[in-house]
Amino acid sequence: MAEIVLTAGVPHTPLLWRLLREPIPEDLQTVASNFDRFRELLAIARPDVIVFVASDHFRQLATSNMPAFMIGKAAEMRGTHPNEERAFGLPFVPVPGDPEAARLVLGHHELPDGFDFAYSDEPWLDHSFMVPLLYLTPQLDVPVVPVYTNTNAPPLPSARRFVELGRYLRTSLLGSSLRRRVAIIGTGHLAFELGGPRQFLGTSPDPEFDGLTLEWMAKGAVEEAIEACSFERLLSAGNLTFQFLNFLTCLAAAGARPATIAEATPCRFGHEPFFAWEEDEPIHDQQAHAGNRPP
Amino acid sequence: MSRYMINKLMLEIDRHDESVEAFKRNATAFLEAWEAAALSPNPPYPDGGSLTPDEREAFANWDFEKLYALGAHPYLLWHLVRAIFVPERLTVEELGDAFKAAVAKHDWPDFST
C-alpha cells in the first residue's frame, strides 16, 4: 500500500527565482531558509513520488478548455514555458512523472466516483510547480504526479471542493496497492494580488486573512476555513488569493490534522506560506478501500 | 464585449518572444494580421473571432487601464504589459506604480471567464 510520508504547502512566487541568490536580500532570508528547512523535511521523508497540487497560470490551460482539476500522467514532463524563461529566468528542464501513481489517482478505465478529473498525456509544468520543485528537489530526481487546479479563471471549484480533493487524494492513496512513499505538496498564495490596484504593496494586502489561515492550519479547522473562503472573501484579500485553496487540499490530505509547521513568512511579496504536516511514522491504512476508488 | 478574445489575444502575444517583438514593433499591424486569421478559423471562434472597436483601440494604444476596465484577466494583463513595456519604456518598478495608479479607480471589474 502507499504511505503518506509528508504533506506540505510552500510558496511559488516566481520572482523568488532570480532573488534567492547570494547575497540574498535581507527580507527574503527567512524565505530561503524555510525552503532549506522544507528540503530537509522532504529528504528525511524520502518520498518515491510527489503528488503536487498547483495552479496552472494560463500556461497549459486556457479558457478554450478549462478543467477544474487535471492529472498529468506522463512518464516525462516539460518544466516551464518560454514566456516564463523570459519573465522569470526559470530553466527549461525535463521532470520525471509517475504514470502508475497518476493512473491510480485518476482511475484506469473509469474515473473515480465523485471526481471527474481531466487528464493530460502532455503535462507542461509552469512556475507554480517548478519554483518549489527546484528548491525542494534541486536534482529533479523525485517523480511527480501533477494535480492542476483552476484557481485563476472563474468559475472556480468551491473551497469545499478543494477539501474533497484532499480527502480523495488521501483515501485513494492510502487504500491502494501502490508501493510508494508519497509526499503530497501543495503550493499557492496567502493574500496576494497581481495585475490589480493592490499589487506590489511591499506587504500583504490583507494581513487579517493571512492570520486566519495560520489559525486554520494550526488547528486543523477545515470546516471553519471552508465557511470563510467564499469567492468574495478571497477576492477581497487579493485577486490571486484563490490559490490559497490548494492549501485546503493539503490540510484535508493530511487528515485535517493540526499542522506541525504553520508559518507566514513576511517579505516584500506579503506573507509567504510554509505549512507542514509531518509524520512520526509513515501513514498507511490497511482498512481503507482497495483499488483506485475512494471509499 | 468579447472578453474571451481579449484574454486569448493577451495569451498569444505573451506566449512567444517573436509575438511580443512583433506587437511591440507595430501593434496595429499585429492586430490586423491576428484578427484576419481569427476571423475565419474552422470551426469559427465564438463572437466571430473579432475584437470590438474599443478593445482594438485599447490594444493598439497599449492602454492597460482600458483593458483592465473592460475585464481583461488581471494576471494575463500584467504579464503582457510587463513584456511590452519593460525594459525599453519603463523599469518594472515604474510600470508597477503606473499600473496601480491607472487601475485603482476601477477596483476589480468582473474577470470571470
A251-285: buried (b, 16+ CB within 10 Å) or exposed (e) per residue?
bbbbbbeebbbbbbbbbbbbbbbbbbbbbeeebbb
Inter-residue contact A60 to A129 (CB < 8 Å):
no
Inter-residue contact A196 to A239 (CB < 8 Å):
yes
Distance CA A201, CA A140 (A): 33
Chain A residues with CB inside 8 Å of B91's CB? none
Distance CA B12, CA B34 (A): 10
Mutate to test the interface with B, among A19, A86, A231 (most CBs of B within 10 A): A86
Chain A residues with CB inside 8 Å of B75's CB? 57-58, 152, 194-195, 239-240
pLDDT at residue A284 greater than cutoff 90? no
Q: What pLDDT score was predicted for residue A295?
A: 30
Each residue's pLDDT tens digit, A39-58: 999 999 999 999 999 999 99
CATH tag for A3-283 (out of 3.30.70.260, 3.40.830.10, 3.40.50.300, 3.20.20.80): 3.40.830.10
Q: Is A145 helix (H, G, I), strand (E, B) or coil?
A: strand
Distance CA B108, CA A90 (A): 30
Look-up of cell digits 487579493:
A238
Q: Which residue ranges make up each domain of chain A?
A: 3-283
- Confidence band of B28 (pLDDT split at 50, 70, 90): very high
Q: What angle do CA A124, A187, A165 make, to 5 degrees?
A: 85
Instruction: Write down the ipTM of this complex.
Output: 0.92
The residues, ordered by sequence, that sit 6+ positions from A108 with a Cβ below 8 Å of its Cβ are A292
Contact A195 B8 (CB under 8 A): no
Q: What pLDDT score was predicted for residue A282?
A: 62
Find the chain A residues whose C-beta atoms sit closer than 8 A to any C-beta of B.
57-58, 62-64, 66, 81-83, 86-87, 152-155, 193-200, 235, 239-240
% residues pLDDT > 70 (chain A): 95
Find the chain B residues whose C-beta atoms sit closer than 8 A to any C-beta of A.
4, 7-8, 11, 14-17, 20, 68, 73-79, 82-83, 96, 99-100, 103-104, 106-108, 111-113
Look-up of cell digits 481579449:
B6
Helix (H) and strand (E) counts for chain A?
A: 10, 11
Chain B residues with CB inside 8 Å of A152's CB? 73, 75
Q: Whole-model pTM?
A: 0.94
Q: Which residue ranges make up each domain of chain B?
A: 3-106
Q: What angle do CA A152, A21, A250 make, to 5 degrees?
A: 35
Q: What pLDDT score was predicted for residue A285?
A: 55
Annotate A77-90 with DSSP letters as a single string. EEES-HHHHHHH--
Contact B73 A153 (CB under 8 A): yes
| 3-class SS string, A7-23 | EEEECCCCCHHHHCCCC
Average pLDDT rounded to a whole number, residues B81-106: 95
For residue A82, give the chain B residue with the closest CA: B16
For residue A84, give the chain B residue with the closest CA: B15
Q: What pLDDT score was predicted for residue B2?
A: 75
Between these two residues, B103 and B50, which has the higher pLDDT value? B103
Look-up of cell digits 488581471:
B74
Q: What is the end-to-end Cα distance of chain A in Å, rounded? A: 15
Average pLDDT rounded to a whole number, residues A69-73: 98
Contact A235 B108 (CB under 8 A): yes
pLDDT at residue A154 greater than cutoff 80? yes
